[in-house]
């Protein structure tokens, strides 16, 4: 089983930027988002609040990771690679904090959609894919860094957050908010777009009533604002506004 997961992990490490959006779109198209839970719109609203909190916690975790110690997750030529073994910042709290953040974001998006099929299948598929990617990375890191990496694995959990280690892991480090914006603005934008698109999908599942037109306009304006933010941030990045940020830890 692990050999299969290593192959799956190697594949998705290389093609995740293309595959993940396709998987999410396929799941969301396969079933419409829920408008009520057991006939209750109040429960649906509370479910959405929980989903948004989960999404936000994932984005905050990603920002914390990148702000303290960024690791280029694209590898080398889209293959698993690491020049150094980074164990400080949030990597002293969890071995895969970015992936934990991603799983929170994806799980929140699936929960926000609400269809049981999407929630269950989406969470299971992405958990399997990320565990496979982690196996592929662990094999590379164990081979390259040997005993140092094995000691690191004994002290730091793979998926859990050892929050008691946060203070010592970030001691003497400065949080780099510019790096967070430069490196993660696309993730923030795509997540917001997914939330807005899902809400509009839910609104337009049947037909938009006169009472819902103003809400649809708000959603459209929010989408435009997110796209404008994305374009502005991309332009500022090209102009070198973020050039003084450190690209390593």
**To which H or E segment does residue 170 belong?**
none
**Phi–psi pair at 40, nearest 5 degrees:** -105, 115
Residues present in the chain in total = 249
pLDDT class for 68, splitting at 50, 70, 90?
Answer: very high
Give the tens place of pLDDT for each residue, 136-156.
Answer: 999 999 999 999 999 999 999
**CA 14 to CA 4: how far, in whole Å?**
16
**b or e along 71-107 (b: 16 or more beta carbons within 10 Å of the residue's beta carbon)?**
bebeeeeeebebeeebbbbbbbbbbbbbbbbbbbbbb
DSSP state of 32: P
The count of other CB atoms within 10 Å of the CB of residue 7 is 13
Q: What are the DSSP calls for 52-94, one per residue?
A: HHHHHHHHHHHHHHHHH----TT-BTTB---SS---SGGGGT-
Whether 121 shows a pLDDT value over 70: the answer reads yes
List Cα–Cα distances, 177 to 51, 63, 90, 182, 192, in angstroms: 25, 8, 15, 9, 19
Whether 231 shows a pLDDT value over 70: the answer reads yes
Whether 77 shows a pLDDT value over 70: the answer reads no
Q: Quick one: average pLDDT of 91-106?
A: 97
List Cα–Cα distances, 103 to 20, 84, 232, 238, in angstroms: 12, 25, 27, 30
Owner of token pair 């565990």: 131
pLDDT of residue 247: 44
Q: Picking from 55-59, 83-87, 154-158, 221-225, which range would have the lowest pLDDT averaged per residue?
A: 83-87
Query: What is the signed CA dihedral for 74, 78, 84, 90, rounded to 10 degrees?
Result: 30
Whether 168 shows a pLDDT value over 90: the answer reads yes
DSSP state of 241: T
Provide the percentage of residues in the chain whose pLDDT is more than 70: 92
Whether 159 shows a pLDDT value over 70: the answer reads yes
pLDDT of residue 248: 41
What's the mean per-residue pLDDT of the chain? 90
Domain boundaries, the chain: 2-173
pLDDT of residue 140: 92
Whether 1 shows a pLDDT value over 90: the answer reads no
Structure tokens that stand for 93 in this block:
């709290």
pLDDT of residue 134: 96
**CA 116 to CA 35: how far, in whole Å?**
12
37 SS3 class: strand
2-173: CATH topology: 1.20.120
Confidence (pTM): 0.91
Structure tokens that stand for 174 in this block:
């400065």
């Amino acid at each position: 089983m692990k050999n299969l997961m290593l192959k799956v992990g190697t594949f998705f490490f290389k093609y995740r930027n293309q595959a993940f959006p396709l998987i999410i779109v396929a799941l969301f198209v396969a079933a419409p988002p829920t408008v009520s839970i057991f006939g209750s719109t109040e429960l649906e609203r509370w479910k959405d609040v929980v989903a948004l909190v989960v999404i936000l916690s994932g984005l905050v975790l990603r920002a914390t990771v990148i702000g303290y110690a960024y690791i280029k997750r694209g590898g080398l030529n889209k293959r698993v690679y690491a020049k150094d073994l980074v164990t400080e910042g949030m990597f002293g709290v969890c071995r895969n904090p970015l992936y934990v953040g991603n799983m929170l974001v994806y799980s929140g998006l699936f929960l926000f959609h609400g269809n049981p099929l999407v929630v269950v299948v989406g969470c299971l598929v992405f958990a399997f894919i990320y565990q496979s990617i982690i196996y592929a990375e662990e094999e590379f890191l164990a081979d390259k860094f040997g005993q140092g990496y094995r000691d690191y694995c004994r002290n730091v959990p793979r998926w859990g957050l050892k929050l008691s280690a946060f203070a010592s892991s970030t001691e003497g480090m400065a949080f780099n908010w510019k790096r967070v914006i430069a490196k993660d603005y696309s993730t923030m934008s795509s997540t917001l777009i997914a939330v807005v698109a899902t809400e509009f999908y839910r609104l337009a599942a049947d037909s938009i009533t006169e009472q819902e037109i103003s809400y649809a306009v708000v959603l459209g304006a929010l989408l435009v604002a997110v796209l404008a933010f994305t374009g502005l941030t991309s332009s500022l990045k090209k102009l070198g506004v973020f050039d003084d940020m450190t690209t390593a830890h």
